[in-house]
Structure 1
Amino acid sequence: MELFLVRHAIAAPLPEGGGEEEDAARPLIPKGVRRFRKVVRGLKALGVGLDLVLTSPKRRALETARLLGPLLEGEVRTTPLLAGPLSEALLEELPEEGRVALVGHEPHLSALLAWLLFGHLLEGVAPQALEERVLLKKGGVAWLRGRPEPGGMVLRALFPPKVFRL
């Protein structure tokens, strides 16, 4: 299987004093949409096609997932498991074969990336520490291949969004 971990594109900032509801409703800003469309074009030029997109239900992730449309040959589904901390239940939602994109948020995507690559090495490591070591910028993509289990995948590429703007 090939797995693409996609951090949502640039979104509107959280209003001062905003809570979880306001955070979940934040849309992408026009700059984020423009830049992420370039990421999609770049992935398409690399021959990337997707069978399934699983996305966080937060608005900015949903909008990013929709922008992946030109790569998608299957469906887009939401899962609350991409809006929160790392969970083995997320891996159970993945098919064993195909190309799947997961659209979510930091620091959870960096934790997922490290878990899939290194498995047991994650014990006792704070998600914020992983985000500092594996920088997945807004609109960035990590391309993995292997079995979707702890330590079962290898990193094919880590694309900061800027690489597709050149």
Structure 2
Amino acid sequence: MELILWRHAEAEEGGDDLARPLTSKGHKQAKRVGAWLRVRLPGDIRVLTSPARRAQQTAAALTERFETVAAIGPGASPEALLAAAGWPREEGLVVVVGHQPTLGQALARLAAGQDAQWRIKKGALWWLRLRPRPEGAEVRVRAVIEPDLV
């Protein structure tokens, strides 16, 4: 299994949290990272997004074919996020577009095997691969991308 944890791009402040849209900078961030991803992803992927408008707008920079999953919305637990993504049993590649601190907490568990508060920059992503090994599965980091690097 491969899993991409992608934090939504920069969003407007204030108002209804689920309705906050991306800023113009956020749209640019999402487009840059979405374009970088598109040329590297296999044809058959699952994209899951939070019900928050800013997460859906970020996902739309990659594809219009995404699933809205309430379990990965603001305030979700890392367990709920990983369960929604099907980790570690899902076949293929799953992209999750969500929020801090949930993404960082899930990332710390997968990459370091511990509960911690890792921070993922707005619009950035971590691409992880689960590799089966005779001594047990291992998680490898394939890429870490921030919007200003692409």
Smaller-chain TM-score range?
0.7 to 0.9
RMSD over equivalenced CA pairs, Å? 2.1
In percent, how many aligned pairs have the same letter? 41
> What residue ranges of structure 2 are gaps of 5+ in the alignment?
132-136
Contact 2:35 2:62 in 1 (8 A): no
Match runs of 1:1-166 below 5 Å? 1-14=1-14, 18=15, 22-45=16-39, 47-49=40-42, 51-69=45-63, 75-83=65-73, 84-95=75-86, 96-119=90-113, 121-122=114-115, 125=116, 127=117, 130-131=118-119, 136-146=120-130, 153-164=139-150
Task: Please tell me the residue identity of whatever aligns with 1:2.
Answer: E
TM superposition shift of 1:91: 2.6
Q: Distance in 2 between matches of 1:87 and 1:29?
A: 26
Question: Which position in structure 1 is the counterpart of 2:134?
Answer: none
Q: Distance in 1 between matches of 2:19 and 2:79?
A: 26
TM superposition shift of 1:163: 0.8
2:56 aligned counterpart, secondary structure:
helix
> What residue ranges of structure 1 are gaps of 5+ in the alignment?
none
TM superposition shift of 1:152: 5.0
- Cα displacement string for residues 76-124 of structure 1 (whole angstroms, at most 9, x for unaligned residues): 11112212232424333334211110000111111110111223x21xx
